[in-house]
Every structure is written in structure tokens, then in C-alpha cells.
Amino acid sequence: MVYLTLRLSRELKELFIDYCDKRKTTLSAEIRDFAERFTEGGLGIFSHSHIKGIAGYALSYTNFDDKICIRMGRDARDGFVSVCEKEGVPASYVLRAFIECAVGG
């Protein structure tokens, strides 16, 4: 097992924890499930507006005062990162965009 670490704002992390609690799941389970779906479908799993959001994410959110660390299998993490690289979008942007979409942002 390896870790996938993501820096994000404390506010977004708290919103995502609330989202996971309401779904009776964990932060780690949601991220691992998303990473698996993304590895299979790439950016095609996002709508056009969300893809534009991914591209602009680094400019709109600069307050990364917290982080999450997700344990996952090495192959799963490496596959996810590889697809992100093929799509030309950093894995951190994709994960933050997923979290933002999940919480309704």
C-alpha cells in the first residue's frame, strides 16, 4: 500500500467529510472509487463545465492549509496518476475538482 496525498483548503476538506458522512462512507473509499472510475474513463467522466473547472482550479484556490492522505494499492495510484498525465492534467487538480463537484461546488 502507498499513500496519495492531496493538499486542499480546510473548508473544502470539512465539506467533503460532511459529504462522506451523509453517504455513510469514508473519505478514503470515495477517493479510491473515484480514482478507479477515472482510470477507466479519463476526463470523459466529467462534464464539459467541470473540465473547464479543472483547468482553472490552480488559479481559483490558493489556500491549501490542510491535506488528506489516502491509502491505496500502488498499481491503483500509479494507474490514476498515469491517466492524469495522459490527459495533461495534474492528479491534484483532478482530485480537487472531484471533491468540489461532490460537495456541490
- Over residues 28-56, the pLDDT tens digits come to 999 999 999 888 887 776 655 565 555 55
What is the pTM for the complete model shown? 0.81
CA distance 102 to 105: 7
Per-residue pLDDT at 53: 58
CA distance 27 to 13: 9
Q: Does the pLDDT value for residue 103 go beyond 70?
A: yes
Q: Which residues contact 73 (CB under 8 A, 6 or more apart)?
A: 1, 2
Per-residue pLDDT at 104: 82
Per-residue pLDDT at 59: 46
Per-residue pLDDT at 51: 55
Per-residue pLDDT at 45: 66
User: Residue 2: pLDDT band by 50, 70, 90 thresholds?
Assistant: very high
Is the CB of residue 63 less than 8 Å from the CB of residue 9?
yes
- Over residues 3-31, the pLDDT tens digits come to 999 988 898 899 999 999 999 999 999 99
CA distance 37 to 40: 5
Per-residue pLDDT at 87: 82
- Rounded to 5 degrees, what are φ and ψ at 94? -65, -45
